Amino acid sequence: MYFVVEKDRVVALDISEALREYRENAAVHVFETVQKARTGVLSLGTPQAAVVSLSSLTEIEPEELSAIGEISQHVVLIVDSEEALTALPPNCIIVVRPFGSSTLAAALLRLSSD
């Protein structure tokens, strides 16, 4: 099972499809916010990985950033620019836009091997 955190439904669908390419028949649950994903953990269980799309770090509060690490043991953060990121949870890996399904798959493989 995978979680996707993304406000834009079209982008969330693209990420979900990439996850299903990586892991055939994977269950993918989409949430609009980190807080909703944290609630999802309570009702659905902990996912294998969470893919969190950050369109702008100005939209994310420090407590939300730390909460990202609580969603799953493995978290892929999709960002516009890697330079702006500081104090990330240790279980996160960064993927910079634009990216394709192979980039996302490589990130997930790298996380699972750690």
> What pLDDT does residue 17 have?
95
Task: Name residue 69's amino acid.
Answer: G
> What pLDDT does residue 59 have?
59
Task: Name residue 103's amino acid.
Answer: T
* 76, 106 Cβ separation under 8 angstroms: no
CATH code (residue 28): 3.40.50.2300
> What pLDDT does residue 57 have?
46
**What is the count of structural domains for the chain?**
1
- Structure tokens given for 53: 């799309």
pLDDT digit string, tens, across residues 32-89: 988 899 899 889 998 999 999 887 544 566 677 778 778 888 999 898 877 666 667 7
This prediction has a pTM of: 0.88
Residue 106 structural domain? 2-113
